[in-house]
Each structure stands twice: as structure tokens, then as C-alpha cells.
Amino acid sequence: MISGAQPGNSVLGNGAWIYSRPEFDQVPPSRLWTIKLLNEVIEHKDGYTIGHCQRVRHYAQILGEVLGLESERLGNLLIAGTFHDIGKVGVLARILNKRGPLDHLEWQIIYAHPMLGRELWEGTVPKLSAMARIIHQHHERWDGQGYPQGLAGDQIRPEARILSVVDAYDAMMTDRPYRRALSAGKALRELQDGIGSQFDPEATQVFIELVEGKQLRAA
């Protein structure tokens, strides 16, 4: 079993084990309750988020370990992976679930969710500031064309670069209101095409090899 992997009958379990992570030991119960509530609000608004966050965390854990991420960063990644879209609490459900293309204003609202997520996280659990920065950076791109800051390459934290790859893969593999899920082959080709532009080359190449080697059991 991968170190720190969740117990339970399934690969993903119910996800509640994340709140037992040692990083949360110093967090007052009322604060922990608040971030649980925020995540539940997002799950209610955007049903896709429920399984998505657990799968993202699972993929990120495996990829992070294979890439040799040190334990502190791996813990940061697990928690940030779980809460990366917490800023969507500020996005209207009708935008999150819109079937057609988003208009300019709707995109501006979507673009704001990493910053809002960072602010919510810092305001609620300020001692866990490393996760706030990962949440803030999870839509940055390797080539600097991402959002909200336009960071590039190793300006982006390694945990956020890993999160970007696994988040995109799971999003492509899932039915969304505006499109059907892609096949695994097509999703992998999209990742391959994004190497060096959207995605960190090393993290992406290793992830593709893990998927092709069937080492991601929840896929």
C-alpha cells in the first residue's frame, strides 16, 4: 500500500480520512468544520466535484510518490488536491453546470476561483499556508499562459504542477454538462500534446506512463 493511502473497502474510500492527517492536528475543530462545510457546498453545487476531488487526490498521491516528492510536500499535495476547487463556492451553480459555452463575464468569474480559494483557505486555516499557494496556482501553465498569475515553469510550485496534470486528466475522463468524457487514449494524447506548453514535462510523461502501465487503479 502506498504510504498514507486511505483505508477502506475501495481504492478511494469515503475520503473522510483526509481530516485525520497530522497537518490538521493544530486546526481548531470549528475551523475544520468550516472547510468541510465549504467542500460540501461545492459538492452540492457541482456534483462532478465529489468523485473528482477524491480521484485527483488519489492520482496526485501516486504521481507525487513516483516523482519522489518529499513527505511534507506530499502531504501538502494530498490536502490541496482535496480542496483545490474550494473557491468554486463563489461561482454560481448555473455557471458551473452550464451546458453551452461561457460568456466573457462567466469566464472572469471562473478565472477568479483559484484566488478566492486561496483567500478562503488562508482565512480559515492560516497555519496551512502552503496549501493556499497550491490552491492559488492549480490553473497555472508551464508556458505562463495560465491563470490567475501567469506563472511559468518552476515559478509554479511542484505540487501545483502535479495537481494541474491529474486535474486535467480526470476532468477529461469525466462527463461534463457541456461534453461527454474523452476516451483514455484521447485524454492521454491531450496530455502528451500539452507537454511543455500546458503541463510540466516530467510530471506529465511519468503520469502517462503510470496510466499506460495501469498503475492508477481508480482510473
C-alpha cell at 108: 472572469
Whole-angstrom CA distances from 82 to 19, 41, 100, 143 are: 10, 14, 27, 25
C-alpha cell at 55: 480521484
CB of 106 to Fe ion, least distance (A): 14
Residue 74 or 163 having the CB closest to Fe ion:
163
CB of 167 to Fe ion, least distance (A): 7
State the number of binding residues for Fe ion (CB under 5 A).
1
Residue 24 or 83 having the CB closest to Fe ion:
83
Q: CB neighbours of 160 closer than 8 A, spacing ≥ 6?
A: 80, 133, 134, 136, 137, 138, 140
CB of 153 to Fe ion, least distance (A): 20
Residue 62 or 96 having the CB closest to Fe ion:
96
Q: Is 159 in the site for Fe ion (CB under 5 A)?
A: no
* 127: annotated active-site residue: no
x/- track of binding to Fe ion for residues 76-115 (CB under 5 A):
---------x------------------------------
C-alpha cell at 97: 453546470
Indicate the DSSP class of residue 176. B
Q: Which residue is nearest to Fe ion (CB)?
A: 85
Q: How far apart are the C-alpha atoms of 85 and 80, rounded to whole Å?
A: 9
CB of 146 to Fe ion, least distance (A): 11
Reported in sequence order, the residue ranges of the chain that DSSP labels E, i.e. its strands, are: none
Residue 85 or 170 having the CB closest to Fe ion:
85
The Cβ-side half-sphere exposure at 34, using a 13 Å CA radius, reads: 13
Catalytic residue, chosen from 36, 88, 186, 214, is: 88
Q: How far apart are the C-alpha atoms of 19 and 25, rounded to whole Å?
A: 9
Q: What residue ranges bind Fe ion (CB under 5 A)?
A: 85
Catalytic residues: 88
